[in-house]
Amino acid sequence: MFDKWMQYSYAAQKHQRHRYLKFFFVFFMLFLLYNVLSAFFISIWALNNDTMQPGLAAGDRLVFTSFFLPSKESQFPYKRGNIVLVDMGSIKDRKAPLKAIDTVVRFFTAQRHSIFPRDEQYYIKRVIALPGDEIYMNNFVFRVKPAGSPYTLTEFELAQKPYHPYIPNVPALWDETIPFSGNMDTIILGPDECFVVSDDRSNTNDSRTWGTVSPSSITAKALVRFWPIKKFELF
């Protein structure tokens, strides 16, 4: 009898419609909030490899931010030594409907999955040099002369927070013309060029093999590692 009342009663049907509308409204607001936060404020990313060892390991989860207050000192929001998210994908070539579907997929999977190939799209790296800097590498350690400075300093002296890259051992007679040798000739970055690298210097999936990257490819800066909890760290 109650089921029939629910089926034929106008009041019951109206109440049911209101419940559906309320559910979709709450879902839409959460979805909108998620997109605003991930586009302009924060996003969560999981490291799926060991290219940032020994400081970061596969499985670590980090909070990144894309929101920066304007600074009188520099138009560039990132600093040397920052851990950043680099987007090497062809975002401009993606069609709008696919972008919309990808946004929904990333929303429901907490950014763990995407309809676009992600193995060679997003990279977590460290900024070593900024536009206009002069940079070279010796024994896997970078030396940088900041734009406008008369002094060349190590990458560690220019970083705001200490870090310890993994320095591999290579044969003494290793060919110094390839990135694996640990040496790199001096280059001067252009006005739209940055240099980003892995902390594991035996892995050259970075600017040593890609070349320099545009500041527009650096989409966010790491704020905190929150997982594993015992390795909680502010950047």
Question: What mean pLDDT value characterizes the chain?
Answer: 79
Per-residue pLDDT of the chain (235 residues; tens, 9 = 90+): 445 544 556 666 666 777 778 877 777 777 677 666 665 677 888 888 889 999 999 989 998 888 765 444 456 788 999 999 998 775 545 555 666 666 666 666 655 666 666 545 789 999 999 999 999 999 899 999 998 889 999 999 999 899 999 998 876 666 666 667 788 889 999 999 999 999 999 887 899 988 999 988 888 899 999 889 999 999 8
Give the class (CATH, top level) of 43-228. mainly beta
Angle at CA 142, nearest 5°, toward 62 and 124?
20
What residue segments make up the domains of the chain, in order of their start? 43-228
Chain-centre distance for alpha carbon 119: 13
Q: List CB contacts of 146: < 8 A, sequence separation 6 or more.
A: 80, 130, 132, 133, 153, 158
Give the rounded percent of residues in the chain with a pLDDT score beyond 90: 35
DSSP 8-class letter at 150:
S
Q: What is the pLDDT of residues 173-197, one digit of tens each?
A: 666 666 677 888 899 999 999 999 9
